[in-house]
């Protein structure tokens, strides 16, 4: 399967104005240097897969991009605008960045439909009717429309993750971040979530995806970014990266995961 | 039991004071405790500290001292309740809501709010952090995260401890008698003095009414808990 993209899609690194730009980003947890001088440009419509060993800082990178974590130095721009430090401006910018977590994090006391409409109603100030119409469309698209009245606990992991994707999409984000969206899923549910993500990529969504699913990276990614020990070690198109990695770290890492 | 029946109107009036103290301080403490909880888990360090100090201070001070503070010390700091003077006519007599009643209500509220905060905070801790992050990630400001995601679940998780706090408040209203509000305890003491031969039945009557009131509260709490339980 190959992804066919629109004409405007995906120039690689640096060309034109990046939708997401990280420049010289540094972060420490105490003595631990978790993000080391990260420079990363993600173009509009580009799909970037981030891979790397555990503890490399992949989650921290994602969380820094919508400022769930603060950074010590450097800057992060979204559509040319720097992330505001606090308050209303930050909340507004966050709404433009969709985030999908490993553990779904659906609101347990709300139905599937309410999970998807909460943000549009309370943050985007849409009317309830408008939000529900759109939510139903999105739930249809991710294949859980018939579960709309249920509570998250009544759904399988794969269904919950698809609802979480719909919840993020309902905000009409400019970019979607996925932090190991399939790692908590049983094998038979991984595909249904990946299919939704591939579909999103085909529609031209800008995506930053932390995942070890090589199949997804090969199918949908424009670029693979390999991180280790808090730094970006290598950045290449998927074919090059998987067949002919440059660094020893990447070779070593691929050797380990491909053996299984 | 004749004595109890004979004084039924006085007893009813006394319990009207008790119930009013409870309702005002109950609502007040739920609101205050919720705000304290939000301060305590919020992003602003100064408020986190302020709430923590409040809870530690108030929770470890005897209720009687807290209430006496509002009756006797607060006026010296120009915190007076003289503007409160309302008479509620009832079929069993007038309920007079004056400055003393107000001071007691404020004292009970301030005291109980600390316990509401503790109960609610345990409920907040039961809400997975990931849900709050997900709410932040869709652009909700802190107030929205608390209001729409965290607190509704925290309230559900803490209905039993909150019910206990409110039951304690109902019984604590008797302390207001020490300051001169003619609530149930004071009325009972008066009747005991005037009717030495009927003391046992008076005790039983007052205790029984308290038991009924507490049971009503427990019943409401149970119903509420069952109704909001997530499938
Ligand atoms: N809140 C925190 N406080 C202290 N250290 C942290 C914190 N969060 C993460 N770390 C550390 O920072 C490093 C990077 O963590 P991060 O979660 O970003 O790695 P990752 O690449 O996502 O790993 P994984 O594949 O296991 O998810 C790890 O060594 C981790 O232990
Ligand atoms: Mg991670």
pLDDT tens digits, one per residue of A54-108 = 999 999 999 999 889 999 999 999 998 888 777 777 888 889 999 999 999 999 9
User: pLDDT tens digits, residue range B44-75?
Assistant: 999 999 999 999 999 999 999 999 999 888 88
Q: A107 and B141 in contact by Cβ < 8 A? A: no
**DSSP string of A102-165, one letter each residue:** TT----TTS-HHHHHHHHHHHTS---HHHHHHHHHHHHHHTT-GGGTTS-GGGS-HHHHHHHHH
Nearest C-alpha to atom 5 of ligand 1 is from which residue? A29
Q: State how far the Cα of A51 lies from the Cα of A37, in Å rounded to an integer.
A: 17
- pLDDT of amino acid A43: 96
Burial B48-59 (b: 16+ CB within 10 A, else e): eeebeebbeebe
Residue A84 DSSP SS3? coil
Q: A109 and B128 in contact by Cβ < 8 A? A: no
| Chain B residue nearest residue A107, CA to CA | B131
- pLDDT of amino acid A84: 79
Q: Are A197 and A162 in contact (CB under 8 A)?
A: no
Structure tokens at B167: 């039951």
B231 to chain A, any CB pair closer than 8 A? The answer is yes
Which residues of A fall within a CB distance of 8 Å from B143?
Answer: none
Provide the CB-side half-sphere exposure for B137 (13 A, CA).
32
**Per CATH, which fold does B20-178 belong to?**
MetI-like fold (1.10.3720)
pTM (2 d.p.): 0.87
Q: State how far the Cα of B99 lies from the Cα of B86, in Å rounded to an integer.
A: 10
Q: Where are the domains of chain B?
A: 20-178
Of A25-34, A228-237, B174-183, give the lowest mean pLDDT range.
B174-183
Question: Cβ of B98: how many Cβ atoms within 10 Å?
Answer: 15
As a whole number, the mean pLDDT across chain B is 92
Q: Please state the three-class secondary structure of B99-117 as a single string.
A: HHHHHHHHHHHHHHHHHHH
Q: Is the pLDDT of residue A12 over 60?
A: no
* Rg of chain A taking only CA atoms, in angstroms: 18
- pLDDT of amino acid A91: 81
A66 to chain B, any CB pair closer than 8 A? The answer is yes
- Alpha carbon of A128: minimum distance to chain B alpha carbons (Å): 15
| Structure confidence at residue A260 as a pLDDT band (50, 70, 90) | low
Contact residues of ligand 1, CB 6 A cut-off: A 29, 32, 34, 52, 54-60
| Structure confidence at residue A204 as a pLDDT band (50, 70, 90) | very high
DSSP label of B178? G
Q: What is the enclosing helix (H) or strand (E) of A235?
A: strand A231-236
Q: State how far the Cα of A127 lies from the Cα of A135, in Å rounded to an integer.
A: 12
Of A12-21, A217-226, B85-94, B151-160, give the lowest mean pLDDT range.
A12-21
Which of A25, A28, A51, A56 best tests ligand 1's pocket when mutated (most atoms within 8 Å of CB)?
A56
Question: Cβ of A49: how many Cβ atoms within 10 Å?
Answer: 25
DSSP label of A223? E
Which residues of B fall within a CB distance of 8 Å from A66?
Answer: 137
CA angle A90, A96, A99 (to 5 degrees): 95
CA B120 to chain centre: 14
Interface of A with B in 194-253 (CB under 8 A): none
Q: Are A180 and A120 in contact (CB under 8 A)?
A: no
As a whole number, the mean pLDDT across chain A is 90
Q: State how far the Cα of A95 lies from the Cα of A67, in Å rounded to an integer.
A: 11
Burial A190-216 (b: 16+ CB within 10 A, else e): bbbbbebbbebbbebbbbbbbbbbbeb
As a whole-number percent, the residues of chain A with pLDDT over 90 amount to: 81
Question: 């006026």: which residue's tokens?
Answer: B75
């Amino acid at each position: 399967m190959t992804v066919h993209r629109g004409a405007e899609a995906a120039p690689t690194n640096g060309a034109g104005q990046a939708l997401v730009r990280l420049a010289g980003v540094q972060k420490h947890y105490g003595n631990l240097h978790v993000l080391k001088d990260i420079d990363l440009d993600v173009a509009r419509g580009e799909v970037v897969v981030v891979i790397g060993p555990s503890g490399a800082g992949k989650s921290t990178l994602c969380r820094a991009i919508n400022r769930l974590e603060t950074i010590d130095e450097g800057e992060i721009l979204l559509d040319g605008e720097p992330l505001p430090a606090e308050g209303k401006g930050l909340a507004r910018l966050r709404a433009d960045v969709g985030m999908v977590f490993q553990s779904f994090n659906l609101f347990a006391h709300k139905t599937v439909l309410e999970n998807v409409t909460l943000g549009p109603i309370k943050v985007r100030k849409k009317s309830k009717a408008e939000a529900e119409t759109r939510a139903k469309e999105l739930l249809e698209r991710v294949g859980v429309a018939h579960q709309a009245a249920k509570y998250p606990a009544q759904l399988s992991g794969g269904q919950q993750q698809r609802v979480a994707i719909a919840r993020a999409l309902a905000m009409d984000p400019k970019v979607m971040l996925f932090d190991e969206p399939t790692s908590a899923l049983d094998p038979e549910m991984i595909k249904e979530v990946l299919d939704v993500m591939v579909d999103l990529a085909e529609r031209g969504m800008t995506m930053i995806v932390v995942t070890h699913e090589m199949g997804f990276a090969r199918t949908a990614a424009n670029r693979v970014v390999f991180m280790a020990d808090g730094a970006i070690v290598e950045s290449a198109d998927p074919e090059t990266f998987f067949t002919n990695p440059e660094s020893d770290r990447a070779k070593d890492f691929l050797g380990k995961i491909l053996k299984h | 039991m004749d004595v109890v029946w004979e004084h039924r109107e006085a007893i009813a009036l006394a319990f009207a004071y008790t119930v009013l103290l409870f309702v005002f301080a109950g609502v007040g403490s739920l609101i205050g405790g919720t705000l304290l909880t939000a301060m305590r888990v919020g992003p602003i360090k100064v408020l986190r500290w302020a709430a923590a100090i409040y809870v530690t201070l108030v929770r470890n001070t005897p209720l009687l001292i807290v209430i006496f503070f509002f009756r006797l010390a607060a006026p010296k700091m120009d915190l007076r309740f003289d503007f409160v003077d309302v008479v509620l006519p009832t079929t069993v007599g007038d309920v007079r809501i004056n400055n003393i009643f107000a001071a007691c209500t404020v004292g009970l509220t301030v005291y109980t709010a600390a316990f509401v905060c503790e109960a609610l905070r345990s409920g907040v801790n039961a809400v997975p952090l990931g849900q709050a992050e997900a709410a932040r990630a869709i652009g909700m400001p802190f107030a929205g995260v608390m209001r729409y995601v965290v607190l509704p679940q925290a309230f559900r998780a803490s209905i039993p401890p909150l019910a206990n706090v409110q039951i304690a408040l109902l019984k604590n209203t008797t302390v207001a008698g020490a300051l001169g509000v003619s609530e149930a305890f004071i009325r009972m003491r008066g009747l005991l003095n005037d009717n030495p031969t009927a003391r046992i039945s008076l005790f039983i009557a007052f205790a029984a009414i308290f038991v009924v009131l507490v049971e009503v509260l427990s019943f409401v709490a149970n119903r509420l808990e069952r109704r909001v339980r997530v499938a």
